[in-house]
Amino acid sequence: MKSEPDDCSIDDLAAAPGQCVPWVGVRNYQARNFMRDAMRIGDGVLFYHSSCAQPGIAGLAEVASAPHPDPTQFDPASRWHDPKATPAAPRWMLVDVRLRARTRLLPLTEMRQRPELASLQILQRGNRLSITPVTPAQWQAVCALLGQPAR
DNA sequence: GCCAACGTTGGC
DNA sequence: GCCAACGTTGGC
């Protein structure tokens, strides 16, 4: 899951109540569908810093809630406000994400050098999705590079 | 700031 | 439903 550190960095996640944040602001249907349909509580999350000086994986996290409506879609003052969404017919669903571990930064440049990570969807040409699935083998490879248990 | 790549919009 | 125009993403 990509996050711009100016919005929510791994340190912001660590400082959040319960080290847990609602993943607000996703406004892409494919990314929404991953949160709404594919994620389960306890699923592992690679926390990726994007649109910053050093893009890369900054820590491990996990899905901490069932899907629920993104509250920012109803808030006219929010940058993520969606005038077409109503509480009766929400358009954007999200999950909460809880920190497991801050890690060293695994830079995008290093990720590209690792053959075992070559299949990661985030590394594919033209990928722009802010949420992409990770296979168990990819997860284990990243954890090994970060010196983290793969549990 | 550039630009490749992709998503969304809206006229037809 | 097609598709051109436009907007967004995100690394560099």
Q: What is the pLDDT of residues A1-27, one digit of tens each?
A: 999 999 999 999 999 999 999 999 999
Residue A84 located in a structural domain: yes
Domain around A78 = 2-146
pLDDT of A98 above 90 = yes
**From residue A82, how far is each of A37, A70, A73, A86 by CA, in Å?**
21, 10, 5, 9
Report if residue A15 sits inside a domain.
yes
- % chain A with pLDDT above 70: 100
* In the block, residue with structure tokens 């996703």: A26
pLDDT in tens, A26-55: 999 999 999 999 999 999 999 999 999 999
Round the average pLDDT of chain A to a whole number and report it. Answer: 95
How far apart are the C-alpha atoms of A96 and A39, rounded to whole Å? 11
Residue A151 lies in a domain: no
pLDDT of A136-147, one tens digit each?
A: 999 999 999 999
A105 strand C contact, CB < 7 Å: no
Give domain status of residue A116, yes or no: yes
For position A17, which CATH number holds? 3.10.590.10
Nucleotide nearest to A126 (CA to C1'): B5
Q: Is residue A151 very low, low, confident or very high in pLDDT (cuts 50, 70, 90)? A: confident
Distance, CA of A25 to CA of A65 (rounded, Å) = 16
What is the count of structural domains for chain A? Answer: 1
Classify residue A46: in a domain, yes or no: yes
A144 CA vs C12 C1’ separation (Å): 28
Report if residue A99 sits inside a domain.
yes
Does any domain span residue A11?
yes
